[in-house]
């Protein structure tokens, strides 16, 4: 029988506080780079952790899970992609697009196609929404894992999470971003680790501690440990993780930094239960509306940039940036963060208050429930559900019988790891050569970083890439400079001896573009007029960290 009753979602106080604190840090990180050495240690891992804590995939059928997540995650993204792309089309039609954005607009239908086929949100305003696409992939992966394990979240569940996590790092190290439809498996595997950690943490009795049972001294002592670890990874051993640009390097240290950040936010969320009621209400309100803030806060930042330019605080050229320029962000980070949060919440509440838009932004739970009931009542669905249930019961019965013997259980798990490794190795071998920063472009085209790059992705002040293309193409090189931006750092890119791009760093994150007008072989040279001191105390010449190569 279909699930006809609509269950009211039970709110967990500390989770709302937790999500509220993390989304504030996300917006703060986009408003200024001052605190990113600390925020970027853990912010996205913390979100995946919270999603895993709220996981209910084992209680839903495949049909209900897909329908629920389509309405709560996929449809809101598609709705706003249509709205923002329509706005961009209007700007292009009136020759205003280049006044607000950098780059070119690929077209309304191209953006929609890329979202459906590749999971690419496209619009600069939806830059943070990659998380939602990856989360959808993780939830589907979780359903498959639990089906394989008979719904048990135990040692096998944790082992698979660790294995896939290491596999995700390996895929990134190889430079291969294998995808299944719109889901990039490297990010899905990495996010699944923290999601699974959240699901396992839920089984811990202390995770739902009530105010009367909280040991304040324990949390205060934990704060001191958190502070020391934050300082170490922010100042001594710089550990910055940027998920969309795949800036990952050392699994052990980056997991340690992420866990420290997650524990820190958990401590804050637990202790907030002692805060005044008005503080609790506001933090919980922010935590309940994180999707709206993820969707709207880049729009609010753009409005802030336009206002700052109108008042003469920044030149109009800076309006085309996605985030505030360094000087503005460092000086006005607090009002920018507050305006972005408040503006996002206002827009989100407006959309939620209009009935038809409430459905489109995934806030009308009754709609997905009615559709599920209508589909599940079909004869074909009933028959499929019966067959699936019988098979599942038989499979789980056999699985329980096998895992009673430890030797058999360990053997089965080892066999599973070997099989999964073989599958991934086989698929990877057909995708590309396992060399960092070599990515296929089109029709056999490739890019090779031949000189000036170290194994840990640091790039020397002078470096070279060899490119062979058979079609017109654009190569995008993304990088991160961890030093202080003074406006004197310049990067020049030449192609076969001719200048192709030249930028002055305005932000720690930057992007270089190289356009190949026709087929042929090209030598791309990158020259920087600055050197960043090595944190390891060695004599290496460093300029920036190369985070990705991509095709536009």
Share of the chain above pLDDT 70, in %: 80
**What is the spatial distance between Cα 322 and Cα 191, in angstroms, rounded to a whole number?**
25
Residue 2 vs residue 370, higher pLDDT: 370
Structure tokens at 338: 């507050």
pLDDT at residue 144 greater than cutoff 80: yes
- For residue 468, give the nearest of 432, 433, 526, 519 by alpha carbon: 519
CB proximity list for 245: less than 8 A, separation 6 or greater = 478, 480, 509, 547, 548
DSSP 240: -
Q: Is residue 182 assigned to a domain?
A: no
- For residue 550, give the nearest of 460, 473, 493, 494 by alpha carbon: 473
Domain with 505 in it: what CATH number? 2.60.120.260
pLDDT per residue as tens digits for the range 285-314:
999 999 999 999 999 999 999 999 888 888
Q: Is residue 502 assigned to a domain?
A: yes
Q: What is the pLDDT of residue 6?
A: 46
Q: Is residue 499 assigned to a domain?
A: yes
Range of the structural domain that residue 486 is part of? 446-551
Q: Is residue 213 assigned to a domain?
A: no
Q: Is residue 220 assigned to a domain?
A: no
CA geometry: angle 482, 483, 488, nearest 5 deg: 125
Q: Is residue 176 assigned to a domain?
A: no
Q: Is residue 387 assigned to a domain?
A: no
Q: Name the band, by pLDDT with cuts 50, 70 and 90, for residue 512.
A: confident
Q: Structural domain tally of the chain?
A: 1
Q: Characterise 520 by phi-psi region: left (phi > 0), alpha (psi -120 to 50), beta (else).
A: left
CB burial string 295-319: b at 16+ within 10 A, e below: bbbbbbbbebbeebeeeeebeeebb
Q: What is the mean pLDDT of residues 541-552?
A: 75
Residue 231 vs residue 368, higher pLDDT: 231
Q: Are the C-beta atoms of 442 and 474 separated by less than 8 Å?
A: no
pLDDT per residue as tens digits for the range 475-511:
888 888 888 888 888 899 988 888 888 888 888 888 8
How far is CA 178 from each of CA 185, 188, 308, rounded to the nearest angstrom? 6, 10, 41
Query: Would you say the C-alpha torsion 159, 135, 197, 56 has a positive or negative sign?
Result: negative
- For residue 549, give the nearest of 412, 454, 472, 441 by alpha carbon: 441
CB proximity list for 6: less than 8 A, separation 6 or greater = 365, 366, 369
Which residue is listed with tokens 């930028």?
503
**What is the spatial distance between Cα 36 and Cα 39, in angstroms, rounded to a whole number?**
5
Q: What is the pLDDT of residue 407?
A: 55
pLDDT per residue as tens digits for the range 427-442:
544 443 333 344 445 5
β-partners of residue 546 are 479
Q: Are the C-beta atoms of 13 and 21 separated by less than 8 Å?
A: no
Q: Name the band, by pLDDT with cuts 50, 70 and 90, for residue 3.
A: very low
Structure tokens at 298: 């880049």
DSSP letter string over 154-199? SHHHHHHHHHHHHHHHHHHHHT---EETTEEHHHHHHHHHHHHHHH
Report which secondary-structure segment, H or E, holds 19. helix 13-31
């Amino acid at each position: 029988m279909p699930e006809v009753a609509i269950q009211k979602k039970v709110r967990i106080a500390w989770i709302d506080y937790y999500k509220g604190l993390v989304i504030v840090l996300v917006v703060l990180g986009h408003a200024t780079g001052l605190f990113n050495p600390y925020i970027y240690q853990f912010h996205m891992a913390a979100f995946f952790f919270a999603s895993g804590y709220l996981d209910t995939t084992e209680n839903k059928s495949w049909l209900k899970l897909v329908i629920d997540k389509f309405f709560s995650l996929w449809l809101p993204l598609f709705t706003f992609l249509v709205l923002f792309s329509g706005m961009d089309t209007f700007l292009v039609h009136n020759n205003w697009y280049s006044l607000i954005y950098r780059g070119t607009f690929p077209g309304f239908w191209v953006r929609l196609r890329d979202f459906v086929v590749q999971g690419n949100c496209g619009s600069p305003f939806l830059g943070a929404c990659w998380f939602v696409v990856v989360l959808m992939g993780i939830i589907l992966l979780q359903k498959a894992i639990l089906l394989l394990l008979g719904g048990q979240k135990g040692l096998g569940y944790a082992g698979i999470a660790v294995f896939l996590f290491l596999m995700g790092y390996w895929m990134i190290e190889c430079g291969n971003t294998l995808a299944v439809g719109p889901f990039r498996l490297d990010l899905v595997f990495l996010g699944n680790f923290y999601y699974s950690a959240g699901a396992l943490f839920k089984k811990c009795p202390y995770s739902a501690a009530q105010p009367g049972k909280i040991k304040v001294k324990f949390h205060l002592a934990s704060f001191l440990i958190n502070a020391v670890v934050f300082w170490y990874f922010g100042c001594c051993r710089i550990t910055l993780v940027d998920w969309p640009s795949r800036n990952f390097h050392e699994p052990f240290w980056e997991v340690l930094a992420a866990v420290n950040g997650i524990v820190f936010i958990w401590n804050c969320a637990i202790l907030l239960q002692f805060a005044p009621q008005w503080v609790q209400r506001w933090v919980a309100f922010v935590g309940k509306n994180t999707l709206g803030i993820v969707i709207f806060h880049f729009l609010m930042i753009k409005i802030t940039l336009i206002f700052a330019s109108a008042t003469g605080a920044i030149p109009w050229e800076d309006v085309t940036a996605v985030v505030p320029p360094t000087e503005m962000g460092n000086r006005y980070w607090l009002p920018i963060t507050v305006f972005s949060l408040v503006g996002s919440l206002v827009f989100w509440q407006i959309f939620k208050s209009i009935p038809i838009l409430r459905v489109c932004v995934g806030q009308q739970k009754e709609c997905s429930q009615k559709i599920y009931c209508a589909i599940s009542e079909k004869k074909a669905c009933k028959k499929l559900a019966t067959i699936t249930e019988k098979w599942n019961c038989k499979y789980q019965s056999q699985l329980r019988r096998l895992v009673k013997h430890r030797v058999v259980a360990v053997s089965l798990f080892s066999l599973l790891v070997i099989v999964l490794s073989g599958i991934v190795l086989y698929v990877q071998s057909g995708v590309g050569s396992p060399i960092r920063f070599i990515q296929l472009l089109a029709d056999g085209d490739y890019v090779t970083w031949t000189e000036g790059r170290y194994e840990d992705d640091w790039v020397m002040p002078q470096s070279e890439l060899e490119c062979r293309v058979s079609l017109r193409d654009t190569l995008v090189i993304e990088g991160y400079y961890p030093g202080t931006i003074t406006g004197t750092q310049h990067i020049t890119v030449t192609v076969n001896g001719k200048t192709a791009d030249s930028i002055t760093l305005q932000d720690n994150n930057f992007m270089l573009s190289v356009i190949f007008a026709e087929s042929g072989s090209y030598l791309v040279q990158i020259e920087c007029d600055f050197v960043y001191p090595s944190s390891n105390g060695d004599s290496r010449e460093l300029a920036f960290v190369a985070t990705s190569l991509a095709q536009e």
